Amino acid sequence: MGRGRKIALWSISLLALIAVIFAIFENAYISKSKPLIAGEHQVTFVDQDVVITRDKDGVPHIKAQSDEDLYRAQGYVQAQDRLFQMDLARRQASGRLAEVIGEAAVANDKLFRTFSLRAAAEASYDGYSDQAKAVLNWYAEGVNAFINEAKDTHKLSYEFKLLGYEPETWTPEDSLTIGKYMAYDLGGKWQPQAFRHWALNAFSEEKAKELFITYPENAESIMTANKENQVEVAGRFLPELSPPEFNGSNNWVVSGEKTASGMPLLADDPHLGLSTPSIWYQMHLQSPDQNVGGVIFAGIPGIILGHNEEIAWGVTNVGPDVQDLYIEIPHPSEKGKFRYDDKWEQAEVRDETIRVKDGNDIPFEVVVTRHGPIISDVIYKEEDPEALFSMQWTALEPTTELEAIMKMNKAADWESFEKALENFHAPAQNFVFAAKDGTIAYKANGRIPIRKQGDAQLAVPGASSEYGWEGYIPYDELPRVVNPDEGFIATANNEVVDDSYPYHITKFWAQPYRYERIAEVLREGDEFTAEDMMKLQMDQKNLYAAEFLDSMIGSVEKKDQDGNYQESIKLLKDWDQVDSKESSAPLIFHKWMRQLQFEMFQDDMPEDVFALMPGKGQITDELLRKGYNGEASVWLNEQKGVDQWVYSSFMNAIKEIEADFGNKPEKWQWGDFHQLTFPHSLASASPIFEKLLNPKKQPIGGSNITVQAAAFKDDGSVNHGASWRFVADLNDLSKTYHIVGPGQSGHMKSKWFHDQAEDWALGDFHETILTGEVSNGSVLTLKAE
């Protein structure tokens, strides 16, 4: 027998052995840890009996006789279904993953220790009202009741066994830290400043100009500071730890004047990373003081998005500039001192030693200046740097979002809801609102800084008091719309103000195509129903192609003298510009658009800087517009003009498609490349875990610029999109419509683990009731002692 065959047989045998061991482990341990969802269960943490009914989709309906017991039961139920997810979330945000995962998580821990989310959460707790603190503590009591129960009965979920640890006691600060992590995931903008700082020092000023949304020509001192005090960017950051550039979302609300029932309709689908389990957990909470349903992040009490018996609401990300970089000048010999107004000022230096599973502790210090933590030496510490970046961020200040959630859940009209939003500081969100009294409304809500100088496109000098923040946009002057004449309000991370607005929000809005499509449908239609709103959430019309495709085809036809690409070009010309999974044209178009970015920028910058580069899509769009309008461009000149750039990108895109899918364009399909995935955090550990924990990939339509958001990686994996879909008809708030992909449960043996993955792909919504009795539900009664 040859050596290669022996190795192959040995590998097969090893995999078979692993499979047998896992099967034994599964039967002996995994099934044992499934949560109790039916019967009577004697507990000590509630004062009166609490009834928990899980409906056919796994949504828990909790009915308690007081808010105290309601929040205790909420903590218990979330822990039943999602404890491992909750524990990883608090560890990641606190910079404590390496303790249970090992050396692979050290870079993550350094980043989050530096960003100081935990410290910000602890400071926030002190600012909460006694009532909010009570809610956080009641919720923690419920979580801890489940943790203790699972430990005592050896029923902790299998993930803890695999990693060899047990969860610690849950605290109110844990919930707030997870909230701060969501602010991190949704409220960025320091990366664009770091990139532009690099570009100013790497390229000529003329070439760098074209990488700005608008070039800050009136801020000469800021430009000078960025050129004279260079901070290392290449090799200093890990782009893979940055949140997605546009954690987008769609939401809209339609007036009763444009609906079949004469009452408003509301739709919301926040776009975040797609994962197993979902980032969202859907619940229905009922006590004598409230009756509210919707979703919340696992690990946090209340309902953040949803409805009660009188109102409904949803959000998209505003995406304002709330993170500023400062160029700090360190003392040449005295550690922890930085120049400020011709003096040397001592920064806070915190010992953040990182414990590592199966390894030695890693000494690590976090340095915090008057502006915020030093972030540019997290990965690599230079001995004597001439300049460093610090970061100021609204979410690092004490904030009170839970206070807002509690008030939102009990609000009954726009006045009380808007009053609740005063406590919602970070991340800044576009709230849309509808009420049974017929009101529709919108508010861009959150703390948005007012700057002494600059427009947040570049890092500013940290050594001068002439720069920095001088408060926030006044609450009463934040963008706001109530009952507009147009009959609807919609947002999709698009620009929400015009040039007349007196304050700076950002210059870095999402591409407008999702918003334009939503507005197009809502303007043209009438007599809308909830079914129409669900259909619009699944809309795959591509307005990106509508703007550029004809011109780009013209470029190819000019250069393709031999007619080598006639078949592919005909497919694009005949395309209905819908990103359907069966069509070949979307595959060509999206590969082509992405190749334009690679051709233009990739060779001009280090790999990590290219990955860090913000707004590749927006900048590419502007270069295409310049080229087709005959405007001058350094970047286009280096590509020998727009036609050559577009043609070269097309050739390379086709070459890549042919390598993967053959040379017959009529057989290509968007869904062969563009495939939905909900990856589990443990799936990458082995192919066996991947098969067991991830739902099967499936072809999917839509894209990153369609209303049915389905953003994809370079390998075609769809890993970002509508993490929750929600539609409410204010004519009947006793029921609403939802999809939580891939399912409600975090337990692999639960029937609700992946049951909504296909629903997500097909747009099959489930109905959830707010009033009345759940039919055919699994009823668990927590019996008070």
Q: Which two tokens stand for residue 737?
A: 């419509």
What pLDDT, on the 0 to 100 scale, is given for residue 19? 55
Half-sphere exposure of 304 (CA within 13 A, CB side): 22
Catalytic annotation present for 249: yes
Write down the residue that tokens 């050596």 correspond to.
3
Does the structure show a pLDDT above 70 at 110?
A: yes
Q: Helix or strand or coil: residue 377? A: coil
What pLDDT, on the 0 to 100 scale, is given for residue 13? 46
What pLDDT, on the 0 to 100 scale, is given for residue 185? 81
Query: From CA 330, how far away is CA 338, in angstroms rounded?
Result: 4
Q: How confident is the model at residue 383 (pLDDT cuts 50, 70, 90)?
A: confident
pLDDT, tens only, 548-601: 999 999 999 999 988 889 999 999 999 999 999 999 999 999 999 999 999 999
Contact 192, 200 (CB under 8 A): no
What pLDDT, on the 0 to 100 scale, is given for residue 684? 84
Helices marked H in 229-296: none
- Mean pLDDT across 95-123: 94
β-pairing verdict for 675-676 and 717-722: parallel
What pLDDT, on the 0 to 100 scale, is given for residue 231? 92
Q: How confident is the model at residue 513 (pLDDT cuts 50, 70, 90)?
A: very high
Does the structure show a pLDDT above 70 at 373?
A: yes
The model's pTM: 0.94
Does the structure show a pLDDT above 70 at 24?
A: no
Q: Which two tokens stand for residue 482?
A: 């109530």
pLDDT, tens only, 450-502: 999 999 999 999 999 999 999 999 999 999 999 999 999 999 999 999 999 99
Query: From CA 758, how far away is CA 554, in angstroms rounded?
Result: 39
Selection from 60, 185, 29, 105 nearest residue 681 by Cα: 105
What kind and span of H or E run contains 111?
helix 106-115
Half-sphere exposure of 223 (CA within 13 A, CB side): 12
What pLDDT, on the 0 to 100 scale, is given for residue 220? 77
Does the structure show a pLDDT above 80 at 354?
A: yes
- What would you report as the CA-atom Rg of the chain, rounded to the nearest whole angstrom? 27
- Mean pLDDT across 415-423: 98
Percent of the chain with pLDDT over 70: 95
Query: From CA 344, how far away is CA 337, in angstroms rounded?
Result: 6
Does the structure show a pLDDT above 90 at 10?
A: no
Selection from 87, 109, 685 nearest residue 356 by Cα: 109
What pLDDT, on the 0 to 100 scale, is given for residue 377? 78
Q: How confident is the model at residue 188 (pLDDT cuts 50, 70, 90)?
A: low
Q: Select which of 249, 255, 278, 723 is catalytic.
A: 249
What pLDDT, on the 0 to 100 scale, is given for residue 12? 45
What pLDDT, on the 0 to 100 scale, is given for residue 615? 87
What pLDDT, on the 0 to 100 scale, is given for residue 219? 72
Q: Is 498 labelled as part of a ligand binding site?
A: no
Does the structure show a pLDDT above 80 at 18?
A: no
Mean pLDDT (the chain, rounded): 93
- Mean pLDDT across 388-394: 95
- Mean pLDDT across 688-717: 94
Q: Is 321 labelled as part of a ligand binding site?
A: yes
pLDDT, tens only, 238-281: 777 777 665 579 999 999 999 999 999 999 999 999 999 999 99
What pLDDT, on the 0 to 100 scale, is given for residue 3? 40
What pLDDT, on the 0 to 100 scale, is given for residue 380? 63
- Mean pLDDT across 429-448: 97
pLDDT, tens only, 54-69: 999 999 999 999 999 9
What pLDDT, on the 0 to 100 scale, is given for residue 7? 42
